[in-house]
Amino acid sequence: MKKIINDPSHLLEEMLAGIDYAHGDKLERIKDTNVIVRKNKRQGKVSLVSGGGSGHEPSHAGFVGEGMLDAAVCGEVFTSPTPDQILAAIKAVDSGSGVLLIVKNYTGDVMNFEMALELAEMEGIEVDQVIVDDDIAVEDSTYTAGRRGVAGTVIVHKILGAAAEQGLSLLELKELGDKLVEQIKTIGVAIHAATVPEVGKPGFELADDELEYGVGIHSEPGYRRESIKSSREIAEELISKLKQEFNWQSNERFGVFVNGLGATPLMEQYVFLNDVKQLIEAENLQIEFKKVGSLMTSIDMAGLSLTFVKLTEQEWLDYYHAPVQVTSWGG
């Protein structure tokens, strides 16, 4: 294993210190916690909190700022943050209008965020949550009851973040989030697994001429392993699964997000998007936005995921295009 790190047991602490130093103009770390919050907290709006295990950078701290999240809670690598850390984030960003938690559907995350929600309510803070379960590859995988929450979570951050900035209530944001999650579907593929620094070896082994469809962002297994394919053939496989899930019709409106899983260069992500484009044109879908980049990673996993968002409401597209001031959303 080759990593540019020091002691693996200090990895989270040193990463957070680096984030705090690099982006101190926009973000700050709450002392003695693993919580990153936006500076210049805006009063009078619902605050958004997300997070999870580290190893998915820039998720989630890279999306803290005006127009997206108010706080991100960082657990150890591939490990949910603890309820006390989540509670600290809730208390730090609450401005009296309530707090919405955006939670990826992993058993540890769901349990710990739920416990923090209950603790916050005991202190008189109004809290609700949206559970993201966009991964269509498998049901009830490792660490998960039901479908996993993966790259589509970033789209939820963006749309709900804009809606919160525009003044929607906690109830309205909860209803919007639940409706939105129903229309977000993701599926991934890997050609090399992630290596957790404290473990020192990949989460699963693939031969040089193999890939695996449907892997999770913690190196969980997918639904099929086979010999390596071209970008075009991979796109055909993933599009076929998304089509089956959405049962889409000609001229329906979608957004498309190609997400790198950590070690896949942008060159390959753009090649893949071009293949997706040609398949979409054959389906006669209307694509309203395209996003490309490594935004929900799995440390050094080589692979990518493809997310489709069915845009059933015009306001979702308006929220998607609203301006943001965060470190990692890009253009």
How many residues are given for the chain?
A: 331
> In which band, very low, low, confident or very high, does the pLDDT at 247 lie, cut at 50, 70 and 90?
very high
> How remote is the C-alpha of 82 from its chain's centroid?
19
Taking the C-alpha atoms of residue 278 and residue 208, their distance in angstroms, rounded to an integer, is 28
Asked whether residue 1 carries a pLDDT value surpassing 70, the answer given is: yes
Torsion from C-alpha of 315, 326, 185, 247, nearest 10 degrees: 30
Q: What percent of the chain shows pLDDT beyond 70?
A: 98
Contact 112, 83 (CB under 8 A): yes
Asked whether residue 139 carries a pLDDT value surpassing 90, the answer given is: no
pLDDT digit string (tens) for 169-209? 999 999 999 999 999 999 999 999 999 998 888 888 999 99
Asked whether residue 143 carries a pLDDT value surpassing 70, the answer given is: no
* Average pLDDT rounded to a whole number, residues 107-126: 97
Asked whether residue 142 carries a pLDDT value surpassing 90, the answer given is: no
Asked whether residue 41 carries a pLDDT value surpassing 80, the answer given is: yes
Q: What percent of the chain shows pLDDT beyond 90?
A: 92
* Average pLDDT rounded to a whole number, residues 206-220: 94
- DSSP assignment of 223-240 equals SEEEE---HHHHHHHHHH
pLDDT digit string (tens) for 285-318? 999 999 999 999 999 999 999 999 999 999 999 9
Asked whether residue 137 carries a pLDDT value surpassing 90, the answer given is: yes
Mean per-residue pLDDT over the chain, rounded = 96
Helix then strand then coil, in percent of the chain rounded to 5, is 35, 25, 40
Taking the C-alpha atoms of residue 119 and residue 241, their distance in angstroms, rounded to an integer, is 40
Contacts of 31 (CB under 8 A, 6+ apart): none
For the chain, domains (ranges, CATH) are 10-182 (3.40.50.10440), 186-321 (3.30.1180.20)
* Average pLDDT rounded to a whole number, residues 224-246: 98
- What are the counts of helices (DSSP H) followed by strands (DSSP E) for the chain? 8, 12
Taking the C-alpha atoms of residue 204 and residue 192, their distance in angstroms, rounded to an integer, is 8
More confident residue, 55 or 42: 55
Taking the C-alpha atoms of residue 207 and residue 116, their distance in angstroms, rounded to an integer, is 42
3-class state of residue 171 by DSSP = helix
Asked whether residue 67 carries a pLDDT value surpassing 70, the answer given is: yes
Residues assigned a catalytic role: 56, 218
pLDDT digit string (tens) for 72-99? 999 999 999 999 999 999 999 999 999 9
106-115, 197-206, 256-265, 321-330: least confidently modelled range? 197-206
> In which band, very low, low, confident or very high, does the pLDDT at 103 lie, cut at 50, 70 and 90?
very high
